[in-house]
Homo-oligomer: A and B are copies of this chain.
Amino acid sequence: MLELAGASSADVREHVAAGGRLAVLAVGALEAHGPHLPLSTDTIVAERIARAVAERCDGALLPAIAYGETWATSGYPGTISLSPETVRALALDIVRGAAASGLDRVVIVNGDFGNRLPLAAAARDLAAEGLRVLVLDHPGLADAADAVRESAPAAPGMNHAEEIETSMVLASAPELVRMERAEPEYPAFPVDFGLRPVRLHEIGASAVFGDPRPATAEKGERLFAAVIDAAVAQVERFVAG
């Protein structure tokens, strides 16, 4: 594994000369995750997965992007959202630049829901240029979450600042979690929730959706293990493709 932030230009040349083609980029977000989790929750989670993938697949780890498309939570203090176009442009530039240095298999580990569309759009654009990108959205997380979860989700498939996400930050950056502030919130959702984009601060007051209190670092480790295994399996197929 080569961590690019700390590597020199000569290190990259040697790594590529030795056959290294895989680069891994975490894209997170700076957005409200309730009173107990840090704004960088999505970045922390994505970065850990990206680092693990780079380690297990001998990839080059790119510096993470600490911002994402977070229009949905931009009504809460502290959320700073990129436009979809900016997220797409970042992915295009970084993948093209990595490929120009010989790192022409790029995995993007995405930690934020809002980034999905612009990253998928970038992957499509890059495919048309002949460049290969794999975007990972925490594969395996849904099943692993069902297995560890003790609290009910606020909505099907929603893991925002509740037991699951809190467990993952407890496992990775416990010093940034203030469990004494963790409070559940189960908002009433509009009848068409999930069918169209909504701004979440119109629905819930705290930016917590569910109950973070049963979260533990041990659950977080189990979740990361599941996601990383699933991610590595996909990356191996991608690299072989």
Interface residues of A (CB under 8 A from B): 4-13, 16, 30, 32-40, 43, 62-67, 71, 74, 76-86, 89-90, 93-94, 97-98, 100-102, 117-118, 120-121, 123-125, 127-128, 132-134, 176, 178, 181, 190-193, 195-199, 207, 234, 237-238, 240-241
Q: Are A238 and B192 within 8 A (Cβ)?
A: yes
Q: Are B40 and A5 within 8 A (Cβ)?
A: yes
Q: Are A192 and B127 within 8 A (Cβ)?
A: no
Instruction: Find chain B residues with CB under 8 A from A12 CB.
Output: 39, 77-78
Decide: A63 near B85, CB < 8 A? Known: A7-B78, A80-B94, A101-B78. no
Report A128 CB to chain B, min CB distance, Å. 6
Q: Are A35 and B63 within 8 A (Cβ)?
A: no
Q: Are B101 and A40 within 8 A (Cβ)?
A: no
Q: Are A121 and B121 within 8 A (Cβ)?
A: yes
Q: Are A101 and B80 within 8 A (Cβ)?
A: yes
Assembled-state Cα–Cα distance A43/B120 (Å):
24
12 sampled A-B residue pairs with Cβ under 8 A:
A7-B38, A8-B32, A8-B78, A9-B32, A9-B79, A11-B78, A78-B101, A82-B93, A82-B94, A123-B196, A190-B241, A196-B238
Task: Choose from B67, B98, B127, B192 the contact partner of A197 (Cβ within 8 Å).
Answer: B127
Report A101 CB to chain B, min CB distance, Å. 5
Q: Are B7 and A39 within 8 A (Cβ)?
A: yes
Task: Choose from B98, B102, B123, B241 the contact partner of A191 (Cβ within 8 Å).
Answer: B241
Instruction: Find chain B residues with CB under 8 A from A178 CB.
Output: 8
